[in-house]
Amino acid sequence: MHLHIVSFNVPWPANYGGVIDVYYRVRALARAGVKVHLHCYTYGRRPAAELEQWCEEVCYYRRTTLPHKLLTRRPYIVSSRCSQPLLQRLLCDDYPVLLEGLHNGWVLEQLRALERGEDASHHRTVLLRAHNVEHEYYRRLTQAERNPLRRLYLAMDARKLQRYEPVMLQGDAVLAVTQADADHFRDMGCGNVVLLPSSHQYDDIVSLTGRGDYAVYHGDLSVPENVQAASYLVKQVFAGSRHRLVLAGRNPAAVLQQLAHAHANVIVEPNPTDLRMERLIAEAQVNILVTNQPTGLKLKLLHSLYCGRHCLVNSQMVAGTQLDAPCCVADDAEAMRRELDRLMSEPFTEEHIRQRRRLLGTLYSPAANAGRLVDLLAELT
């Protein structure tokens, strides 16, 4: 089976949410025997030789980030990814197409418009991977943003994304990351919605047994949502606590550095290597993750569940994911402090690993989900 995959960005290095999902899906599909033709928009990333081992071909296209793209009827994440060379390459064969994100809605528009033309020969199978309910995600980003101009942009694109979202009805299937997202797309009118959780690097639980002596919060520490979450943990949960907290991630905001300086039990680890991040997650006694953004699936949660010991989260972190069972859920600072005290003294055992393996099951297995995707493509083509 041949498959075109159109990615919104170059998915290597696989070091943040959406590109992690793309890269490990490509890897799992290649291991399942699918011949992947990968198409990537370059946006702050260079072509990556790492991708060639999994793909029949890798093609790169320039994302057009000129200011006038902000003024179109399409959302900016879509209008800046309109590429005629990409469209022409897709028209060279009739392989099915998987579009990664609503970002690539323009391709779906164009393929369906051609089918409606006089020269249309047959229906092209096109699947759209929805990484979020994008307009809800952008509204949450707007609430967290402090820069007035960027806040205006996010608010405008949130409205545009909501108006544009029905383009998804033209796809043969929508692949949703959570049950909550799947319900949204069905309510919107999408006839074939498939729950397909995010892909990741792990084939099995690799968590360490025993006890660590610190808790860790990890993520991109320059993103306003994560800065808010980390600040909340420092000020509301760990202030005055006997437990240590490590904040690990990319480009920590100055406010987090200042908070760490003011609290002797808080440490910031800026820009850890992949190996260092893996060790921080694995050796922590508790991975503590909170969010005010209940959309999509938080890949750092899967990372923590497959690699880390105890996971302490708020309910929005696990909303619609079926991942509340292997986590400890607490929704206010007092409850979080209480559960933190308990988990820091509870060794992580082989029984915990067996329970986690059973609870995660095959729903979050990249190999199993690649098989489901292959079966779906076989059914539709």
CATH number at residue 297: 3.40.50.2000
Residue 350 pLDDT: 97
Residue 66 pLDDT: 75
Q: How many CB atoms lie within 10 A of CB 358?
A: 10
Residue 64 pLDDT: 87
Indicate if 73 and 161 belong to the same structural domain. Answer: yes
Are residues 242 and 310 in contact, defined by beta-carbon separation less than 8 angstroms?
no
Indicate if 104 and 168 belong to the same structural domain. Answer: yes
**Is residue 207 assigned to a domain?**
no
Indicate if 229 and 332 belong to the same structural domain. Answer: yes
Range of the domain at 182: 2-201+365-380
**Is residue 209 assigned to a domain?**
no
**Is residue 324 assigned to a domain?**
yes
* pLDDT tens column, 171-215: 999 999 988 899 999 999 998 999 999 999 999 999 999 999 999
Q: Which residues of the chain have pLDDT under 70?
A: 118-121, 295-297
Query: Which are the contacts of 19, defined by CB distance < 8 A and separation ≥ 6?
Result: 7, 9, 10, 11, 12, 13
Residue 118 pLDDT: 60
**Is residue 145 assigned to a domain?**
yes
**Is residue 208 assigned to a domain?**
no
How far are the Cα atoms of 44, 159, 162, 317 from residue 290, in angstroms, in the given order?
Answer: 28, 26, 26, 6
Indicate if 192 and 218 belong to the same structural domain. Answer: no
Indicate if 127 and 188 belong to the same structural domain. Answer: yes
Structure tokens at 318: 């696990």
CA–CA dist 334, 330 (Å, integer): 9
Residue 293 pLDDT: 75
**Is residue 37 assigned to a domain?**
yes
How far are the Cα atoms of 166, 199, 305 from residue 163, in angstroms, in the given order?
Answer: 7, 29, 36
Indicate if 245 and 340 belong to the same structural domain. Answer: yes
* pLDDT tens column, 330-357: 999 999 999 999 999 999 999 999 999 9
Indicate if 93 and 180 belong to the same structural domain. Answer: yes
Indicate if 152 and 232 belong to the same structural domain. Answer: no
- Return the percentage of the chain with pLDDT > 70, whole number: 98
Residue 60 pLDDT: 97
How many Å is the maximal CA-CA distance in the chain? 72
Are residues 101 and 74 in contact, defined by beta-carbon separation less than 8 angstroms?
no
Give the closest residue to 234 by CA, choosing from 261, 211, 270, 212. 261
Q: Are strands 97-100 and 2-7 parallel, antiparallel or unpaired?
A: parallel
Indicate if 273 and 334 belong to the same structural domain. Answer: yes
Give the closest residue to 285 by CA, choosing from 332, 234, 347, 226. 347
Query: Which are the contacts of 305, defined by CB distance < 8 A and separation ≥ 6?
Result: 205, 311, 323, 326, 327, 356, 360
Residue 297 pLDDT: 64
**Is residue 299 assigned to a domain?**
yes
Strand, helix or coil for residue 217: strand
Indicate if 43 and 107 belong to the same structural domain. Answer: yes
- In the chain, the amino acid numbered 75 is P
Indicate if 37 and 76 belong to the same structural domain. Answer: yes
Structure tokens at 33: 């025997």
Q: How many domains in the chain? A: 2
Residue 121 pLDDT: 64
Indicate if 157 and 189 belong to the same structural domain. Answer: yes
DSSP H helices, the chain, are: 17-31, 76-79, 84-90, 105-116, 134-144, 148-164, 179-188, 224-232, 254-262, 274-283, 299-307, 333-344, 350-360, 366-380
**Is residue 159 assigned to a domain?**
yes
CA 102, 106, 109, 114 torsion-angle sign? negative
Residue 224 pLDDT: 87
